[in-house]
Amino acid sequence: MALPKTTDGFFPAIGGKAYLGEADTENQVTVASGNYFKSNNLWVPVSNSNPMPILGCGSTVSASFTRPSNTTAYDAGDVVGQNPGANMVFENVLSNPGGTFMIMGARLSIPVAAVPSGMSTFRLHLYNSASTAIADNTAYNLPAVDRVNYLGFITLSTPIDLGETLWSQDDNIRFTGKLAASSTTLYGILQTVSGFTPTSATVKTITLNVAGV
């Protein structure tokens, strides 16, 4: 196998940069100094200006829940969910179980005609296995038992009023994670960043635009 030539002037086996072998596809290689991807028959070093290309098929997955029939105010950091608590479930994130994914964008839709006073951003905490359920209006917590399955969170921007719908749209998120072995499912818990008084029994729908990497 010929050594890949890189646009920064190195051959990975020369100059102290050890060649570690090819990755899962012929379009990506890893060397001691970092990752490279193939472009126009040259190997380009990954950087902020040259991000790794998206490989594989994309998907759009959604999950919804209905919050309780009350208007009990949330404190900052509370879970917005169901009572009893339940995970949001995003199925068929990738076609290949256990694959690595990137969330490119996210949407939050709420069928309410006005933004509740105090409502701001939300965090969607993500897991590659079902986590400990947290009831609505309870402070979010990441217990020790769930750390191994916790992937991190994405921030959903403050919803805007579109008449009969509140809408939050975030593009270019570029959140990466890995599904659990033999699984194509992600699990989520929604958390409010600020305190606000909700509308009773509202439906929250979150849609994720996902690509395989």
Q: Which of 15, 32, 51 is the last residue of a domain?
A: 51
In this structure, the answer to whether residues 33 and 110 fall within a common structural domain is no
Section 184-197 average pLDDT: 98
| Of 71, 69, 61, the residue nearest 185 (C-alpha) | 61
Last residue of a domain, one of 13, 35, 51: 51
Instruction: Compute the distance between CA of residue 142 and CA of residue 148 in angstroms, rounded to an integer.
Output: 10
DSSP 115: P
Contact between 7 and 45 (Cβ < 8 Å): yes
Same domain membership, residue 90 and residue 140: yes
Same domain assignment for residues 143 and 104 = yes
Number of folded domains in the chain?
2
Take residue 66 and report the two structure tokens written for it: 């209905």
Nearest to 186 by CA among 57, 89, 106: 89
Asked if 109 and 207 sit in the same domain, the reply is yes
Residue 212 Cα distances to 22, 65, 124, angstroms: 18, 26, 20
Work out the angle at residue 89's Cα, subtended by the Cα atoms of residues 148 and 102, and round it to the nearest 5 degrees: 65
Do 45 and 64 reside in the same domain of the chain? no
Q: Which structural domain, as residue segments, surrounds residue 10?
A: 1-51
| 113 and 31 share one domain | no
Q: Are residues 69 and 137 both part of a single domain?
A: yes
Q: Same structural domain for residues 114 and 17?
A: no
More confident residue, 85 or 13: 85
- CB distance 207 to 170 below 8 Å: no
User: What's the average model confidence in pLDDT over 50-70?
Assistant: 81
Q: What is the pLDDT of residues 15-41, one digit of tens each?
A: 333 333 434 344 444 444 456 555 555
Whether residues 110 and 188 fall in one domain: yes
Please provide the average confidence, as pLDDT, over all residues in the chain.
84
- The pLDDT score that the predictor gives to residue 104 is 96
Interval 197-208 mean pLDDT: 97
Provide the CATH number for the domain around residue 78. 2.60.120
Q: Per residue in 79-117, pLDDT tens?
A: 999 999 999 999 999 999 999 999 999 999 999 999 999
What is the predicted pLDDT for the residue at 7?
Answer: 47
Same domain membership, residue 78 and residue 46: no
> What strands lie across the sheet with 58-66, from one edge to the other?
58-66, 203-212, 100-110, 166-178, 160-161
Residues 198 and 130 in one domain: yes
Same domain, 27 and 62: no
Measured at the CA of 28, the angle between CA 24 and CA 33, to 5 degrees, comes to 115
17 or 142, higher pLDDT: 142
Name the pLDDT band for 58 (thresholds 50, 70, 90).
confident
